[in-house]
Amino acid sequence: MSVAVAVLVLGACSDGSSTTDPSASPVSSMAPVGTASDLTPQAGTGDEESFGDVGTVTVPEGTTATPGTPTTAGAEQIVYRMPDGDAQGFPALQITWQPDAPAGVYEQSWSTENTKKVDTTVSDYVRSPVEWPGSDASVVSTWTEEVALQTGDSVDVDATALWLQSPDGTVVLAIAFSPAGDADSSSIEALRSITLS
């Protein structure tokens, strides 16, 4: 009897952090490796907006929000154009979320990185691990994209993508687009304000 009680007590006191504890989380084969991203959460200034029931983002006053048109089944999207936008509409923040996503953040970002290898308009693609409050798995991807214009010219746009995964299985992809070289753009500031519900 005392042994049984001891077992129950030990079990109840288990915090699951031991590597021999079946509930410990192993490393994903598709998780990014290398130096962690220096992107950190930070409270934004301006208006707090909700995207679905998934999370919130703080955008500067005067930001316009329009629904996007994702082709992935079940996904929703909002495009926030910052008030200091240029002729091409950058900086801008695009948030896409997919409830009950069939593939997690690591898998989707891994496969997306592979896909970018044949995209000749994308350069300097880097995928890095990151920690984000409330997210089960988080990844940061950065790249530079050459956008062809109707005038025949082209512009370079820097992209910073934050992948988040909520405990209910929703995958969120927030991409901050900004003119090349603008590391402190308003879209990145808004990106850092994203919080999961």
Spatial separation of the C-alpha atoms in residues 144 and 71, rounded to whole Å:
23
3 state SS of 116: helix
100 binds another protein (CB under 8 A): yes
89 binds another protein (CB under 8 A): yes
Spatial separation of the C-alpha atoms in residues 176 and 90, rounded to whole Å:
9
Q: Name the residue nearer to another protein (CB basis): 58 or 166.
A: 166
50 binds another protein (CB under 8 A): no
Q: Please report, as residue ranges, which positions from 126 to 185 form the binding site for another protein (by CB under 8 A).
A: 137, 141, 145, 147-152, 155, 157, 159, 161, 163, 165, 169, 171, 173, 175, 177
104 binds another protein (CB under 8 A): yes
Q: Name the residue nearer to another protein (CB basis): 56 or 72.
A: 72
3 state SS of 83: coil
109 binds another protein (CB under 8 A): yes
Spatial separation of the C-alpha atoms in residues 91 and 71, rounded to whole Å:
23
In the complex, the smallest distance separating the C-beta of residue 94 from another protein, rounded to whole angstroms, is 6
State which of residues 41, 49, 65, 107 lies at the interface with another protein (CB under 8 A): 107
Q: Name the residue nearer to another protein (CB basis): 43 or 68.
A: 68
Residues forming beta bridges with residue 175, ordered by sequence position: 94, 161
3 state SS of 50: strand
Total residues interacting with another protein, rule: CB under 8 A: 75
From the list 2-10, 40-48, 53-61, 183-191, the region that binds another protein by CB under 8 A is: 2-10
71 binds another protein (CB under 8 A): yes
In whole angstroms, how large is the CA radius of gyration of the chain? 20
106, 139 contact by CB (below 8 A): yes
Q: Which of 171, 33, 42 is nearest to 98 (CA)?
A: 171
Q: Name the residue nearer to another protein (CB basis): 11 or 181.
A: 11
Dmax (CA) of the chain: 83
